[in-house]
Amino acid sequence: MLNYNPFSLEGKTILVTGASSGIGQATAIECSKMGAKLVITGRNAERLQETFNHLEGEGHRQIIAELTNSDDVKRLVSESPELNGLVLCAGKAMTLPFPFGTRDKYDEIFNVNLFAPIELLRMLTKKKTFAKNSSVVFVSSIGGVSSIVIGNSIYGASKASVNATMKYCAKELAGKKIRVNSVNPGMVETPLIHRGTISSEQLAADAERYPLKRYGHPLDIAHGIIYLLSDASSWVTGHSLVIDGGVTI
């Protein structure tokens, strides 16, 4: 059976947030290659269009939305078709020593990394947007969960909260035949890691700590997400899938 593929997404409709760059962009494109119809969303129209242009197949949609804006989220929910999968990929990083981590800094990161994705998931669930045997994937991080780095307390706390929320959602939504999991990447070569205070030389030195001697690529994470979206993981829920090049060992 040469055409047998348990990781196929044929017949599935997947909503991917943060699809205009990085892991979200790679995930959307790879899902389309696996046969899915995509609904992609992001706040930058030009970059989202670039992702859209690379999607394979037909029937895809793009919806411009800022997930911290309640009106945009309501519109995204109202325009979303029945879904078989949701990838919550939009995120924001911040490197800041703990003494400078004021409440407004926590609010800034938690609004993007935690409150926005769980509100979108809550509203989609309440609207009964998900078909039976659907899959939700949070993009979390090893930061704050199994890798504690100086200056990462705010970001790490937000991602630890994502993983905790994921487990509660997996427990509560199982009765609705909705699986909920997360992927926990190590450092991945995306624009996100080059917007902070860490130099390219420091990043290169840090990559040497990884047993595989490199940071991840967006495709490395996208393929793990596809596993969790596919029927190959139909008995997996409440799980944090670590994809980190072995750094946590």
b/e per residue 173-202 (b: at least 16 CB within 10 A): beeeebbbbbbbbbbbbbebbeeeeeeeee
* Residue 157 resides in a domain: yes
* Residue 2 resides in a domain: no
Which residues have C-beta within 8 Å of that of residue 106, sequence separation ≥ 6?
154, 157
Other Cβ atoms within 10 Å of 166 Cβ, number: 25
pLDDT attached to residue 197: 63
pLDDT at residue 178 greater than cutoff 80 = yes
Question: Is residue 91 very low, low, confident or very high in pLDDT (cuts 50, 70, 90)?
Answer: confident
* Residue 211 resides in a domain: yes
The mean pLDDT of the chain is 94
* Residue 168 resides in a domain: yes
* Residue 248 resides in a domain: no
CA angle 139, 153, 86 (to 5 degrees): 15
The secondary structure of 107-160 as a DSSP string is HHHHIIIIIHHHHHHHHHHHTT-EEEEEEEEEE--SBTTTB--TT-HHHHHHHH
Which residues have C-beta within 8 Å of that of residue 129, sequence separation ≥ 6?
77, 80, 81, 82, 83
* Residue 4 resides in a domain: no
The beta strand positions in the chain, using DSSP E, are 13-16, 37-42, 61-64, 83-88, 130-139, 178-185, 240-243
* Residue 8 resides in a domain: no
Percent of all residues in the chain with a pLDDT value above 90, rounded to a whole number? 82
Number of domains in the chain: 1
Q: Does 155 qualify as catalytic in the annotation?
A: yes
* Residue 229 resides in a domain: yes
**Can you give the CATH number for the domain in which 166 is found?**
3.40.50.720
pLDDT digits (tens, 9 = 90+) for 6-17: 999 999 999 999
pLDDT digits (tens, 9 = 90+) for 97-116: 888 999 999 999 999 999 99
What residues make up the domain containing 68?
A: 13-242
Spot the catalytic one: 4, 106, 155, 210: 155
Question: Is residue 195 very low, low, confident or very high in pLDDT (cuts 50, 70, 90)?
Answer: low
pLDDT digits (tens, 9 = 90+) for 45-81: 999 999 999 999 999 999 999 999 999 999 999 999 9
37-42 vs 83-88, strand pairing mode: unpaired
